[in-house]
Amino acid sequence: MTPLRLSLDSAALVANWRRLQAMAGVPAAAAVKADGYGLGARGVVDRLHAAGCRTFLVSTFDEAERLGAPGAGAVVLVLHGFTADDAAAAARLPWVRPVLNTPAQVAAWRTAFPGRPADLMVETGMNRLGLDPADVAPALAAIPVDTLHSHLATADQPDHPLAGIQLRRFAELAAATPGVRKSLANSAAIWRGRAFAFDAVRPGLGLYGGLPCPGADALPVVRPEARVLQVRTVEAGEAVGYGATFRPQTRARIATLNLGYADGLDRALGPHLAFTQGERLLPVVGRISMDLVAVDVSAAEVAEGDWLALRFDLAALAAASGLSQYELLVGLSPRFERRWS
Ligand SMILES: *Cc1c(COP(=O)(O)O)cnc(C)c1O
C-alpha cells in the first residue's frame, strides 16, 4: 500500500469528454500524451473508449507502445510523426497512425508502409511542428491521408488575433483539400465555437478538469490524497521545516504528510496549498520537502494514519503560482497510486 494516492473520478472524466464533444458537434479524440496528462494513459483510454471515444493522441511511438491496444475500432495518433527508427514499432502497432510533420517523414512512411494511411500536421502560424502549406499537396499525392491537422498557439487567449489568422489559413487549406478530414481544435478552441471544430476535435486539458480558457468550466477529475505520518504540538514561535520559514504565532498542531516536491508539489505552490477535512481548510505551512509537507491541523481532529485530501483547484493554483494547469497535472509523480472510482 502506498501512502499517497490520486483519486480519479471516472464519471467526471467521461462527462467532460461528452460535454466537449457535444459542444463541438463532431467526434472528440482524447489527448493522452505524457501518460494521460499524469493520470495514467491506460486508465483514461479504457474509460473513454467505453464511453465511445475512438481516437487517442500520444506524442511518440514509445508512448504508443507503452499504452498498448486502445480497444476495438480505435486508433492511436502519434503526434511527433515517424522516422525509419519507428518502423518496427509501427509494424507491431497496426492501430497507430502517425501525424507526419515534414516531407522527410512523409517519404519515410511511404517507404516503410506503402498504402497505409497516416495523418498530416500543417503549420499555420505557431511555427512548431508541421508541414509548410506548400508541402501538403505533394504529401497527399504520396500517401493515403486520413486527417489533416493544425494546432493553435493562442486558443486560450480570447483577445489574441493569432487564432483567427490561423483559423483563416487552415480553412483555406481545408477548402483546397477535399476528401480528407480536418481537425484544428484543442480544448480551448472548442470553447471558441464551432467555427473551430471542422471534422474532429482534440481536447486534452479539459477532459482532466482543467479550465482551458476564461469562462470555461469542467468537472474536477483528480484529487491527490496523502497519509498523515505524524502529528505534533508546536509551541508559539518555534520553527517548522527547512529554513525555519514558518513559526506559529500561537501553539499549533502540525501534521507531517507523505507528499513533497518529488511528487509534483512544486515548492512555489506552498503558500497556496491547503488540505481539506470535510469543509475545513488546513493550510500547508513552511517549506515543502522532497517527500514531506507540513500542515497546520489545529482546526481539526487529525491523527496519525489519517488521509487528507489536497485542494487541487487547477485554475486557481495555476493563477496563484505561475505554473500552468498542464504542469500541475503532468508533475504528479508515479508514487501516487492511481485509484479510479
Ligand atoms: C496536446 C495537444 C492537444 C490537446 O491540447 P489541450 O490544450 O490539452 O486541449 C491537441 N492537439 C495537439 C496537436 C496537441 O499537441
Residues annotated as catalytic are: 33, 242
Q: Tell me what percent of the residues of the chain surpass a pLDDT of 90.
A: 98
The response to whether residue 19 sits with its C-beta less than 6 Å from ligand 1 reads no
**What's the pLDDT at 278?**
84
Which ligand 1 atom sits nearest the alpha carbon of residue 155?
7
Q: Where are the strands (E) in 246-299, listed by range?
A: 252-257, 274-277, 280-285, 293-296
C-alpha grid cell for residue 152?
493553435
The response to whether residue 205 sits with its C-beta less than 6 Å from ligand 1 reads yes
Write the Ramachandran bin of 209: left for phi over 0, alpha for psi from -120 to 50, otherwise beta.
left
Which residue minimizes the CA distance to atom 6 of ligand 1? 204
The response to whether residue 81 sits with its C-beta less than 6 Å from ligand 1 reads no
Q: Quick one: average pLDDT of 310-323?
A: 95
SS3 149: strand
Bridge-partner residues for 337, per DSSP? 5
Q: Where are the strands (E) in 139-187, listed by range?
A: 145-149, 181-183
Beta strand 75-78 pairing with 55-58? parallel
**What's the pLDDT at 2?**
87
What digits encode the pLDDT tens for the residues 168-208?
999 999 999 999 999 999 999 999 999 999 999 999 999 99
Q: Rounded to the nearest whole angstrom, what is the distance from the C-alpha of residue 209 to the centroid of ligand 1?
A: 14
The response to whether residue 151 sits with its C-beta less than 6 Å from ligand 1 reads yes
The response to whether residue 204 sits with its C-beta less than 6 Å from ligand 1 reads yes
What digits encode the pLDDT tens for the residues 84-106?
999 999 999 999 999 999 999 99
Q: Rounded to the nearest whole angstrom, what is the distance from the C-alpha of residue 159 to the centroid of ligand 1?
A: 20
213/265 Cα distance (integer angstroms): 23
DSSP string, 83-101: -GGGHHHHHH-TTEEEEE-
- In degrees and rounded to multiples of 5, residue 233 shows phi and psi of -90, 130
Which ligand 1 atom sits nearest the alpha carbon of residue 121?
13
210/325 Cα distance (integer angstroms): 6
Which residue minimizes the CA distance to atom 3 of ligand 1? 186
Q: Rounded to the nearest whole angstrom, what is the distance from the C-alpha of residue 33 to the centroid of ligand 1?
A: 9
pLDDT confidence of 279, banded at 50, 70, 90? confident
DSSP string, 30-98: EE-HHHHHTT-HHHHHHHHHHHT--EEEESSHHHHHHH----TT-EEEETT---GGGHHHHHH-TTEEE
Q: Rounded to the nearest whole angstrom, what is the distance from the C-alpha of residue 203 to the centroid of ligand 1?
A: 6
Instruction: Check: pTM over 0.95? Answer yes or no.
Output: yes
Say how many C-beta atoms besides its own lie within 10 A of residue 337's C-beta: 13
335, with CB counted inside 10 A (0-12, 13-18, 19+), is middle
Which residue minimizes the CA distance to atom 13 of ligand 1? 151
Higher pLDDT, 144 or 270: 144
**What's the pLDDT at 101?**
98
Q: Quick one: average pLDDT of 241-263?
A: 97
The response to whether residue 47 sits with its C-beta less than 6 Å from ligand 1 reads no
**Residue 1 predicted with pLDDT over 90:** no
The response to whether residue 80 sits with its C-beta less than 6 Å from ligand 1 reads no
What digits encode the pLDDT tens for the residues 142-155?
999 999 999 999 99
What digits encode the pLDDT tens for the residues 230-248?
999 999 999 999 999 999 9
Which residue minimizes the CA distance to atom 4 of ligand 1? 204
